[in-house]
Structure 1
Amino acid sequence: MTIKLTFEKEYKEPKGKYLHLKLIVNDKCCIDDIVITGDFFAYPPENIDKLSLMLKGLTLLNIDDLMKRVENIIKNTEIIGINSRVFKELILGLLKEGLKECQRAKEK
């Protein structure tokens, strides 16, 4: 039986836009899905989907590689309504939380 771990983060920029992140990880610490939604704007808009698709199937155990991939997409994306540094930190924080909990679950 495959165990799925789900992690979520929400953020509302003061006088700005809303961001909701959802990460689903399997028992091998691989990303099954990452959903990035909210009422913010991104240009080019397809970079948000590109980021989700790029991370799907990758292992959280290689967190440094994931962080570089996230940073590379975000530096080439204009985020409107949410500070891009905060946007990046929230995604990276969610990935780190997923890694920590996945490692803990594997120890049991």
Structure 2
Amino acid sequence: MTLMESALPAEGAPGIRRIELDVTGMSCRACSGRVQRTLNKIDGVHASVNLGTRVATIDASRDVSVAELCAAVEKAGCSAAQRPEGSTASLTVDSGGQRNVLSRLVSAVFGH
């Protein structure tokens, strides 16, 4: 458990809410890591970013706005929008992500 996790009350605690953002523009682990680090720099925020689903799951204090979270994602070089409540993570890959996966596959097979 990190210091931040121990200092932040769990989701469901008074004053904490869970927010999910759809994040676009991530193409690698470095991108998702940068988004996660940027979000976690905000006071009262604990974020986890999943590159595969392109979703940032955030436990945040009630005084942190969705707009502030989206602005932080943009500062990290990506775009974000709040997921509708009750939606499930989509496993679809945007066209840029498909090209990236295909390029890595070709490189792995042919050694380029």
TM (norm. structure 1) is 0.30
Higher helix share: 1
Larger Rg: 2
